[in-house]
Structure 1
Amino acid sequence: MTFDLIVRGGTLVTPEGPRRADLGISGGQLVEVSEEITADGKALDASGLHIFPGVVDAHVHFNEPGRTHWEGFETGSRALVAGGGTSFLDMPLNSSPPVLGRAEFDAKREIGEQKSLVDFGLWGGLTPINLDRLDELAEAGVIAFKAFMSHSGLEEFPAVDDLTLLEGMRTAKRHGLLVGTHAESNELTRGLTEQVRAGGHKGVRDYLDSRPVLAELEAVTRALLFAEETGAALHLVHMSSGRAVALAYEAKQRGVDVTIETCPHYLHFTDEDVERVGAALKCAPPLRSKAVQDELWAELLAGHIDIVGSDHSPAPPDMKTSDDFFALWGGISGAQSTLNVLLTDGYGKRKLPLEAIAALSALNPARRFNLPGKGRLDVGADADLALVRLDETFKLTELHDRWQQNPFGGEDYQGRVTHTLSRGRTVYQDGKFDDTVRGRLLRPGA
C-alpha cells in the first residue's frame, strides 16, 4: 500500500494511554495505525515526539465579518495551529452582523472558507429577536445554538429571557442540536453592577465583586432545569467555579443531557493576576480566587469537566485602555495556549494523564458536537495531528493572534508544539506556516 505521508516513530496519545506507533495517511485521513509501517514513501520522523489528536477548540470568537480588526479567521487560525489546534467552532458574535439567520451564516462561512487554515464550524445565535429563524439556521448547518443569560456586551445580541431559552431548547431538541449558554444571572450581574457604579467605584476589584460565583450558580441551576424539562442537550460554556461544575455534574448523574466546559484562563490565572495584569485578563465570568480555582481543578481531576475551550475573544488595544475597568472590553486571547496550559498546569503539576488532556481538548468536543472525523487517532479519522516535544520547556514569546495581547505570553510552558497537521498537510512547523492550506466547513455528523 502507498501513502501520501507516513508519520514514523511517535508516541500516540490514545484513550488507553500513550503507545508508540506509525501513522499512514492518504487522502487526508488515517488509513493505517500500526507498530511499524514498512512501506516506502514520504515520511515525517516523529521520534521523541508525542502525537496528540489536533485540538478541537469549541469556543472561539474570530469576529468576521465586520470586526476583522479585532481578530479574523486568518490570524485567529494561525494562533490556533501554532498551539496544536486543527479545528474550531466560531461563536455567532462578535461578528457584525451576528449569526442570527441563514444570510449571516452564509456570509461567515464564505469568509472562513477563504481565510481559515483549518476546518471550522459555526455556532448560531439564540436570542429573543431571532427565535423564528432557528429552523433556517439549523438547515444552514450551524453546529449549535448560543444564548447569553446575561448581557452579551453587544446590543445586537440580546440576552435570552426564560421563555426564549425554553422555546429555543425545544427547537434545538427537534433538530438534534445543542444549546450552549453563557450562564450568569442577568438580574444579579446588572443589579450588582448598578450598585457598585452608583457608589463611584470602577476598579478591578469592584468589577470582580459585581459578578460573584452566586450569579453563575443561579443561571446554571435555571439552565439545567430547562434542559431537564425539554430533554434538550445543554452545553455550559466557560464554567469558572467548582461549585457550578458540581451542580451540573449532579444533574448529569440523574440523566440531564449536559456537558461542562471550562477555559485555560480559569485554570491558570486567579483574581490576583487580574489586579496585576489588568485589561488582558478581563472576562465574564471573571477570574476567581485561588480557593475557587482549586475547587475547579478538583472537579477537572475527578473527571467532571468534559471540555476545555479557549474562549479566545480579543479586541483592539484602544478597547482595552481605560481607568474604568467596567468600560473595558471583556475577553481573553488564548487560542494558542490551551494545550500548553493543560500540559504544564495539568500533566506537569497536577499529574493529569495525557489521555485526559487529549479527551478534554479533542475527543470530547468532537463527540459532543457530532464531528466523527475529529478528535481521535484511529483509522478513518481525519489526519489532524499535534506533534509535541513533551519534555521541552519553552517560553511563549511568538504570538500569532492579531493584537498579541495574550496574557499567557512570556511565561514558561511544558511541551512545545513542533508540527500541526490538518487532514495530513503540515500547516505549522517550528514557527512557520503553510498559508496555502484552507479549511472547510464542519457540519454536525459530517
Structure 2
Amino acid sequence: MQPVDLVIRGAKVVSPDSIIDASVAIDGERIVAVGRDDAMPPARDAFDATGLYLLPGAIDSHVHFRDPGYPHKETWRTGSAAAACGGVTTVFDMPNTNPPTGTLDALELKLSAARSSYVDYGIHGLLGDDTIAHLEALVEAGVTSFKAFVGNTFGNLPAPTDGALLEGFEKLAPLGVRTVVHAENSSILSRRQKRMQDAGRIDALAHLAARPAVAEIEAIGRVLTLAEWTGARVHIAHHSAADSLFLIRDAKRRGVDVTVETCPQYLLLNTDDMSRLGGILRLNPPIREPRHNDPLWQALKDGTIDMIATDHAPHAVEEKTRSNIWECDCGFPGVETQMALMLTEVNRGRASLMEYVRWSAVAPAKAWGLYGTKGVIAPGAHADIALVDLDRKGVLSQHTLHSVSRISPWHGRLVHGYPVHTLVRGRFVMRDGALVEDALGWGRSVKTIQQMPTPRPLNTAHYTSAILTTPAGVRPTAEPLDAIDAPQSHETA
C-alpha cells in the first residue's frame, strides 16, 4: 500500500452528532480515512494530537478584508493570517471595497488580491441598482454569492431600491445563488441619525438610538417577502435583535430558503459594554440592550439562527477612538478571536462542542453549497481542520492580532479553549499557535467546488424578464387611444 502524506493520531474527532476517538489520514488535499489507528494506512508523516479535539475548520460567511482599496485597514495577507490563526479555514469576503465588487473589472482586482490568502475563500458580489445587468456575468467569472446593503454601512454604498432588489432576486433565483442581506431600513437610519446630529447628540448610545430594532424587523420582513415570491435564496447577515426572530421562524416554517447568521458580539456584548468602550463598539447593526443576548443564544440552539460569523470589519485605531460617535468607523476585527470566544462558552456549558461544530462549519458549508467537500471530517472531504485545546486558558490581546487593525473590544477578556493548529486542504497554515509563513497564497477560491441544490424559482411569469416582451396578439397598454379600433356594438333590439 502506498503511504499517505499524514496521519493525525490521538485526537477526539467532533461532528454535530458525536465525539469519537479516531485517527485521520490525509493524502494531498483530502481526508482519506477516519477511524481506529490500527486501520490507518502507512504515512510519510505522523502528528500526535493527544489531548486535542479535531474539528472541521470554521467557515466564516462574513469578513471584510478591505482589499482592494483600504490597505491601512486590512489586506488579504493580514486578514487571512488572522483567519488561519483563529481556526478559520474558509472565508467569504464582502463587496464594499474600493472599487465595490459589482463589475467584472472590480472582481478581477479582488480575485488578484485574494491570491495572497492563507485560507480558502468565496467572493460576495454587489447587488445594487447599478449591478443588476452584471449579476449572471459575475457568477460566471467567479462570484459565489451576492450582498445587498439594504442598510447603510462602511463605504456608503446606496441601498438597492426595492425594485432592484426584486429584479436581482428574479435573476438569481433560477441560478440558485444566495444573496446576503444587511437587513436594516436605510430611510429610518438616516433620518434618525440626522435628527440626533442636528440636536447635538454625539454620545456612544446615540448610534443604537438611530438604529432601533424596528429597522431590522421591517427590512427582514421586506426581504423575506421578495425572496418567498421569487423563490430566491437569501441569507440574513449579523442578526442582532430578539424582536425580529419571529419573522425568521415563520419564514422557515413556510419553506422560504433563508439562512441566518449572528456574531459573538451580539451573543456576548450589550449596551453595558457600549457605555464602557464607546466607539470601539460602534458597528452595524448596533450592539443592543442586554435583553437580546439570551434569545439569540436560544435561536442558535433551536435552529432559527443557523450559524456563527464574525463580520470581521477592521479599522485603524484612530478611526475607532474619536470622541464623536458619528465619526467613528463601524466594525472591528473578529475572525481571529471567534473560536476562542465560543470555545469558552462551550467550557461554561452554554453550548456543546457538537453544537459549535454545527454553527461554525456544517451550517455555513450547507448554506454556500460546500458541504461534503468542506464542513465535515470524512473521507473525500478537504482536510480543513482546526485542532483545539479545550483546557488552555489565556487572555485575548489586541496587540497580538494578525490583523492590521489592533483594536478590539475583546482585549483583556479571559478565554478557556484555543485553536492551536490549523490545516487548510491538508497543509498546516497555523502550527503550535504560530502562523506558517510559507503557506502564504495557499488559499483557493471555493467557486470551483460550489454545488448548490437545484433552484426552485417561483412566479416566473411575473419576472421583469418575462414582462418586457409583449405576447403576440396582445396590444401594449401604452398604445395611444386613437390608434385602438373602436369596440364593436353588441346591443340587441
Normalising by structure 2, we get a TM-score of 0.87
User: Of 59, 62, 67, which residue of structure 1 is paired with 2:65?
Assistant: 62
- 1:351 maps to 350
1:154 Cα deviation (Å)? 2.2
Distance in 2 (alpha carbons) for counterparts of 1:90 and 1:444 = 16
Deviations 1:276-304 (A, max 9, x none): 11222110110111111122112122232
1:428 Cα deviation (Å)? 0.6
Counterparts in 2 of 1:58 and 1:186: CA distance versus 1, 3 Å: same
The percentage of counterpart residues that share the same residue type is 36
Distance in 1 (alpha carbons) for counterparts of 2:71 and 2:98 = 9
Q: Which has the larger radius of gyration?
A: 2
Deviations 1:29-74 (A, max 9, x none): 0001112126343111011000110011110000111111110111
1:431 Cα deviation (Å)? 3.1
Distance in 1 (alpha carbons) for counterparts of 2:121 and 2:320 = 28
Conserved 8 A contact 2:62-2:92: yes
- 1:439 maps to 443
Partner-residue secondary structure (3-state), 2:148: strand
User: Does 2:335 match 1:332?
Assistant: no
Partner-residue secondary structure (3-state), 2:10: strand
Conserved 8 A contact 1:309-1:361: yes
Whichever residue aligns with residue 170 of structure 1, its letter is: E
Conserved 8 A contact 1:55-1:375: yes
1:133 Cα deviation (Å)? 1.1
Q: More deviation in 127-136 or 212-221?
A: 127-136
Distance in 2 (alpha carbons) for counterparts of 1:33 and 1:51 = 11
User: Does 2:140 match 1:139?
Assistant: yes
Deviations 1:93-134 (A, max 9, x none): 1x2101001111111111111x11111111100011211111
User: Does 2:128 match 1:124?
Assistant: no
Q: More deviation in 329-338 or 31-40?
A: 31-40
- 2:486 maps to none
Distance in 1 (alpha carbons) for counterparts of 2:172 and 2:193 = 32
Distance in 2 (alpha carbons) for counterparts of 1:326 and 1:368 = 35
1:249 Cα deviation (Å)? 2.0
- 2:316 maps to 316
Partner-residue secondary structure (3-state), 1:30: strand
Distance in 2 (alpha carbons) for counterparts of 1:369 and 1:222 = 23
Conserved 8 A contact 1:399-1:406: no
Distance in 2 (alpha carbons) for counterparts of 1:242 and 1:193 = 22
What value does the CA root-mean-square deviation take over the aligned residues?
1.4
Distance in 2 (alpha carbons) for counterparts of 1:149 and 1:416 = 35
User: Does 2:193 match 1:189?
Assistant: no
Q: More deviation in 403-412 or 229-238?
A: 403-412
Partner-residue secondary structure (3-state), 1:361: helix
Conserved 8 A contact 2:419-2:433: no
Q: How many residues align?
A: 442
**Residues 83-232 of structure 1: pairs in structure 2 closer than 5 A:** 83-93=86-96, 95-113=97-115, 115-155=116-156, 157-232=157-232
Q: More deviation in 239-248 or 229-238?
A: 239-248
Counterparts in 2 of 1:137 and 1:299: CA distance versus 1, 3 Å: same
Whichever residue aligns with residue 445 of structure 2, its letter is: L
For structure 2, list consecutive stretches of 5 or more residues without a partner in the other structure.
Answer: 451-493
Q: More deviation in 318-327 or 79-88?
A: 318-327
Deviations 1:314-345 (A, max 9, x none): 11123223221012110121011111222212
Distance in 2 (alpha carbons) for counterparts of 1:445 and 1:159 = 31
Conserved 8 A contact 1:333-1:407: no
Distance in 1 (alpha carbons) for counterparts of 2:421 and 2:290 = 34
Conserved 8 A contact 1:242-1:298: no
Counterparts in 2 of 1:243 and 1:312: CA distance versus 1, 3 Å: same
1:246 Cα deviation (Å)? 2.9
Q: More deviation in 8-17 or 312-321?
A: 312-321
Whichever residue aligns with residue 68 of structure 2, its letter is: P
Distance in 2 (alpha carbons) for counterparts of 1:261 and 1:245 = 12
For structure 1, list consecutive stretches of 5 or more residues without a partner in the other structure.
Answer: none
Whichever residue aligns with residue 376 of structure 1, its letter is: V
Distance in 2 (alpha carbons) for counterparts of 1:430 and 1:24 = 20
Distance in 2 (alpha carbons) for counterparts of 1:444 and 1:274 = 42
Q: More deviation in 115-124 or 365-374?
A: 365-374
Deviations 1:388-443 (A, max 9, x none): 11122221233211122122132111212110111111111123222222211110
User: Does 2:79 match 1:76?
Assistant: yes
- 2:394 maps to 394
Distance in 1 (alpha carbons) for counterparts of 2:355 and 2:175 = 30
Partner-residue secondary structure (3-state), 2:144: coil
Whichever residue aligns with residue 23 of structure 1, its letter is: V
1:15 Cα deviation (Å)? 2.1
Distance in 1 (alpha carbons) for counterparts of 2:339 and 2:249 = 24
Deviations 1:185-241 (A, max 9, x none): 112111211221221111111111111111100101101101111100010000001
Q: More deviation in 145-154 or 72-81?
A: 145-154
Partner-residue secondary structure (3-state), 1:278: helix
- 1:26 maps to 27
Distance in 2 (alpha carbons) for counterparts of 1:401 and 1:306 = 27
- 2:10 maps to 9
Distance in 2 (alpha carbons) for counterparts of 1:391 and 1:245 = 34
